[in-house]
Amino acid sequence: MELLEGERLDDLQRGGLRIIQKRVGFRFGTDAVLLADFACPKPGDLVADFGTGTGILPLLMAARQPRSQFDALEIQEDMADMAARSVRLNGLEHRIRVHCADLAMAPQLLGRQKYNLVVCNPPYGRVGTVLLSEHPGERTARHEGACTLESIAQSAAALLRFGGRAAFIYPAPRALELMRALSEQGLEPKRIRTVHAFAGRAPKLILLDAVKGAGSMLHWMEPLILSEADGTPTAEWKRIYGLE
């Protein structure tokens, strides 16, 4: 497959999977890898990815669970095209469908109460509290605009079956905002895992999933430590990246 100007091809180290990304601009990071591991679709799950970007989450989850199907939404035309070409490059068209659409249109486009799992790596920056990225693609991916926690939770609740899960990675200081938005849509937070750069430091991120129609009981998982004191990756980091 021919790359467009300004693109590069990266090896995902997952059974030969590759992904097309921009040389300059938004590229997937550790947070996507952590979320793909945490969300962990089950065999036969129908999964929706909100704001798929380069398509990294469905690609990683498809490699982990070969019996799941994925619908990936991305509002930016160039990113959606890139994600779709990565899907074709890996021969996964029969399992991953990329849609260039606003996530607010997800219920009308994909159907209501059909999905077992929704995953989302939302924009982290609240408008008015952080400096906006100069690159338009990064600005859309990293900063809230019309893509608010409330709109994400509303669309996720519409897509999910009763008992379905919505999984997120999000800044730890904004954890309460995320949990409140989900709970207001009938998605009760069930599992939470804090993510720490080093042991003994406050978490920068959380991994959280919520279940549609569940009761209010939160299960705290073992903290995820990414680096040892000397800066080397922890055993858990290596497991997540498949480097054991």
Query: Whole-model pTM?
Result: 0.90
Model confidence at 127: pLDDT above 80: no
Model confidence at 138: pLDDT above 90: no
Q: What is the pLDDT of residue 132?
A: 47
Q: What is the pLDDT of residue 123?
A: 93
- CA nearest neighbour of 75 among 53, 46, 97: 53
Distance CA 122, CA 58 (A): 15
Distance CA 244, CA 135 (A): 36
Q: What is the pLDDT of residue 124?
A: 87
Pull the structure tokens for residue 153: 């939770």
Residue 171 DSSP SS3: strand
User: Do 19 and 92 contact (CB within 8 A), yes or no?
Assistant: no
Model confidence at 227: pLDDT above 90: yes
**157-169 pLDDT per residue, tens:** 999 999 999 999 9
Pull the structure tokens for residue 142: 């990293």
Q: What is the DSSP letter of 41?
A: P
* DSSP codes, 207-242: EEEEEET--S-PEEPPPEEEE-TTSPBPHHHHHHTT
Q: What is the pLDDT of residue 14?
A: 87
Q: What is the pLDDT of residue 26?
A: 82
- Residue spans of alpha helices (H) in the chain: 30-39, 56-64, 77-89, 106-110, 136-142, 149-159, 175-184, 235-240
- Per the document, the length of the chain is 244
User: Do 47 and 61 contact (CB within 8 A), yes or no?
Assistant: yes
More confident residue, 67 or 130: 67
Distance CA 212, CA 188 (A): 6
Q: What's the Cα-to-Cα distance from 244 to each of 129, 234, 240, rounded to whole Å? A: 39, 10, 9
Distance CA 151, CA 154 (A): 5
Q: What is the pLDDT of residue 134?
A: 53
